[in-house]
Homo-oligomer: A and B are copies of this chain.
Amino acid sequence: MSTTAETIRNGVDTAQLYGTLDALKADPTLATFQFRARNRWIDGAHNRTTIRDFYAANQEDTSRAEEFVVDAGEPAILLGTDTGPNPAEYLLHALAACLTTSLVYVAAARGVHLTEVESTLEGDMDVQGALGLSDEVRNGFERIRVSFRVAGDAPEEKLREVVARAQQRSAVFEMVTNGVPVTVDVATA
C-alpha cells in the first residue's frame, strides 16, 4: 500500500482545497470577498477594463503580479469595429468559465480525473429591446443554452453528477439565472 496521497488532481491542489475549506469553517469571516473592475471608454464601442486588486480573507489581496486588461467592442452590424468580443459575448464567457472551473474543482474533490471539458454556449437576443425599438421584448438574452462535453475516468452517471453539482455551486451560473441587485451612481465632471 502506498502512503503517498495524490494531492494535485485536474491541476487543482486538493490538499490546499481542503485546507481552505477547513480554514473557512473555523473562521467564516475569511469568506468575505470583494471583486472589482475598472472600465474606461476609448472610442465608439471600444472600451477597456482593467482588473487586479480584490479583497479576500480580511485583507486586500496583493498577490497578482500585474493587472489584466480586457477590451470590448461590437461587430460592424452593431456599429463597432471588432475591438473585442461584445459585452453579451463576455457574459457567455463568464458563464462558461465559471461552470467549467466549478466542474473541475468538484471533480478534483470527488476523485474524478478529467481528460476533457468543452462547452458551447448560445444566447438568443431580439435586439429591438436593447435598441429601444420595442418594450415587448427584453433587452438581454431570452434564453441561454449550454452544452457540455465531459470525459474522464468515471462512469457516465458520476460525470453527470459532477456537472450537476458544479451547476449548483457556480457563482456566475447562480447570478445569471437569479439576477443580482445592481446600484449605479454617477458623477459628472
| Most chain B beta-carbon neighbours within 10 Å: one of A45, A46, A171 | A171
Q: Do A185 and B145 touch (CB < 8 A)? A: yes
Nearest opposing residue in chain B for A48, CB measure: B97
Q: Is the CB of B124 within 8 A of A38?
A: no
A76 is an interface residue with CB less than 8 A from chain B: yes
Among A146, A170, A188, the most chain B Cβ lie within 10 Å of the Cβ of: A188
Nearest B residue to A39, CB-CB: B96
Cβ contact of A118, chosen from B33, B34, B40, B160, cutoff 8 A? B40
Residues from chain B with a CB closer than 8 A to the CB of A150 are: 186-189
Give Cα A116 to B84, complex, Å: 20
Once the chains bind, are A176 and B186 in contact (CB under 8 Å)?
no
Indicate if the CB atoms of A184 and B146 lie closer than 8 Å.
yes
Given A104-B45, A182-B95, A186-B148, check contact A39 B175 (CB 8 Å): no
- In the complex, the answer to whether B188 meets A41 with C-beta atoms within 8 Å is no
**Which residues does chain B contribute within 8 Å of A21, judged by CB atoms?**
131, 133
Q: Is the CB of A35 within 8 A of B88?
A: yes
Q: Is B118 touching A39 in the complex (CB atoms < 8 A)?
A: yes
Give 1 or 0 for each of A142-160: 1 = CB within 8 Å of chain B CB.
Answer: 1111111111000010011
Complex contacts, A189 vs chain B, CB 8 Å: 116, 149-151
B95 touches A72 (CB 8 A): no
Per-residue interface assignment for chain A, residues 91 to 131, with 1 indicating a CB less than 8 Å from any chain B CB and 0 otherwise: 11111111111111100000000101111111111111111
Interface residues in A4-62 by Cβ distance below 8 A to B read: 10-13, 16-17, 20-21, 24-25, 28, 31-41, 43-47, 49, 51, 54, 56-57, 61
Rounded to whole Å, the gap between the CB of A54 and the closest CB of chain B is 7
Task: Give 12 A-B contacts (CB < 8 Å), ordered by A residue.
Answer: A20-B79, A24-B128, A28-B128, A39-B100, A54-B89, A63-B77, A144-B182, A147-B184, A147-B187, A148-B187, A149-B188, A175-B176
